[in-house]
Amino acid sequence: AQANTMLRLATTTSTYNSGLLDYLLPIYQEQTGVQIQVISVGTGAALRLGQDGDVDLVMTHAPEAEAAFVEAGHGVLPRTLMYNDFMIVGPESDPASLGSAQNVLDAFAQIAQSGAIFVSRGDESGTHIKELELWALANQSLPFDGYRSVGQGMGRVLSLADEMEGYTLTDRGTWLAMKSRLDSTLLFEGDEQLFNPYQVILVNPERHPHTLYDAAKAFADWLVSTEGQDLIDSFQVEGEQLFFASAED
């Protein structure tokens, strides 16, 4: 019955670029015949597409914006799907000596005070929101001297930071995909503060009756099922696991 269904999923560029969806979707299509078109945009734009009913479900990683999204009744049935983590990368010389940082807040404070360059996404993406949150927690006022807000995607920001010999906050997936082309090195990782939870949210069928709610729900169900979760855990880039399934069922 679902053979010709075409679902539309809006997600963030970083998720899409990591290759996870290219890995999962063909499997799902094989099983059910449902085709899923992925529209990868910024987090803000992804939620906006959901709000306008132009897609059937969204997969994002900006907890507060998502909460607001559900609160406002644009989306229903938000479910935690998985998490990955952020990390700080920067020049090998490490002018802010992040090696000595105890936690991520220390690390941020050291960057701000050392006068080094920090490149910010500046595009209100999940990563950017996370970064702003961390600056606030670390009690640093923005923008400081070396702060560069560039308003571009993660891949570009990594290249930019590399070019400017600055630090930046990145998700692991993009970093793994790009690191072979960069001089920057991984300088800080592993703090719990840096975990990055993904949710999958269905577009409210009462607001947008034309959306394929049932098919979207079936897909979301599959993602949080044991099968989907196992698949997520088994996805690797450059021999490293990227996403950690975390659905609570």
Partner 1 sequence: MSFKVSLTALLIAFPFAAVLGFVLSFWRFPGHWFVVTLNNTMLAIPTVVIGLILVLLLSRSGPFGDLRLLFTQPAMIIGQILICFPLLVAMMHMAYQGVSRHAWETARSLGCSRLKALWLITLEVRFAVLAALVTAFGRVIAEVGCAMMVGGNIAGYTRTITTSIALETTKGEYVQGIALGIVLLVLALVLNLLVGVTRGRSIQGASQ
124 is an interface residue for partner 1 by CB under 8 A: yes
Nearest approach, Cβ of residue 48 and partner 1 (Å)? 3
Query: Residue for token digits 């560069």?
Result: 148
Nearest approach, Cβ of residue 1 and partner 1 (Å)? 21
Residue from 62, 101, 134, 178 that binds partner 1 (CB under 8 A)? 178
Nearest approach, Cβ of residue 89 and partner 1 (Å)? 13
* Dist. CA 241–CA 233, nearest whole Å: 7
17 is an interface residue for partner 1 by CB under 8 A: yes
Site string for partner 1, 66-95 (x = CB under 8 A): ------------------------------
39 is an interface residue for partner 1 by CB under 8 A: yes
Residue 30 burial (10 A CB sphere; 0-12, 13-18, 19+) = exposed
b/e map 158-187, b = 16+ CB within 10 Å? bbbbbebebbbbbbbbbbbbbbeeeebeeb
Closest CA to 176 of 109, 116, 243, 128: 243
Residue from 32, 80, 103, 149 that binds partner 1 (CB under 8 A)? 149
Q: Residue 120: beta bridge partners?
A: 149
List Cβ neighbours of 203 (8 Å cut-off, separation of 6 or more): 50, 53, 55, 56, 57, 58, 74, 75, 76, 211, 213, 216
| Beta carbons of 234 and 69 less than 8 angstroms apart | no
Q: 199 to 228, contacts with partner 1 by CB under 8 A?
A: 208, 210
Segment near partner 1 (CB under 8 A); pick from 78-86, 118-126, 214-222, 234-242? 118-126
Residue from 96, 158, 200, 237 that binds partner 1 (CB under 8 A)? 158
Nearest approach, Cβ of residue 162 and partner 1 (Å)? 8
| Beta carbons of 104 and 134 less than 8 angstroms apart | yes
Q: 125 to 144, contacts with partner 1 by CB under 8 A?
A: 125
* # binding residues, partner 1 (CB under 8 A): 45
Nearest approach, Cβ of residue 154 and partner 1 (Å)? 8
41 is an interface residue for partner 1 by CB under 8 A: yes
Q: How far is CA 190 from CA 87, 144, 186, 194, in A?
A: 7, 25, 11, 7
- Name the 3-class secondary structure at 118: strand
Q: Interface residues with partner 1 (CB under 8 A)?
A: 8, 13, 17, 37-49, 51-54, 122-125, 148-156, 158-160, 163-164, 174, 177-178, 181, 183, 208, 210
